[in-house]
Amino acid sequence: MTQTTQRAINLPSGDVIPVVGLGTWGMAEDVRRRDEEIAALRLGLDLGMHMIDTAETYADGAAERLVGEVIRGRRDEVFIVDKVSPTNASATGAVNACERSLRRLGTDRIDLFLLHWRGSVPLEETITAMTTLVTEGRIRHWGVSNFDLPDLVELTSLPGGTAVEANQVLYNLGNRGIEWELLPRCREAGLPVMAYSPLGRGRVLGDPALREVAIRHDAKPAQVALAWTLRQEGVCAIPKASTPGHIQDLWGAFDLRLSGDDLTMLDRAFPPPNGQTTLEML
Show binding-site residues for substrate: 116
Count of CB atoms situated within 10 Å of the CB of 90? 20
Query: Checking DSSP bridges between strand 79-84 and strand 193-196, what pairing results, if any?
Result: unpaired
Q: 250-277 burial by CB neighbour count: b if 16+ within 10 A, else e?
A: bbbbbebebeeebeebbeeebeeeeeee
What does the DSSP 8-state code read for residue 83? E
Q: What three-state secondary structure class fits 193?
A: strand
- Please give the Cα distance from 58 to 93 (Å, whole number): 18
- Using alpha carbons, select from 120, 82, 74, 124 the residue that is nearest to residue 99: 82
Catalytic status, residue 58: yes
Count of CB atoms situated within 10 Å of the CB of 29? 15
> 37, 55, 58, 138: which is the annotated catalytic residue?
58
Query: Checking DSSP bridges between strand 8-10 and strand 16-18, what pairing results, if any?
Result: antiparallel
Annotated binding-site residue numbers: 116
Q: Which residues are catalytic?
A: 58
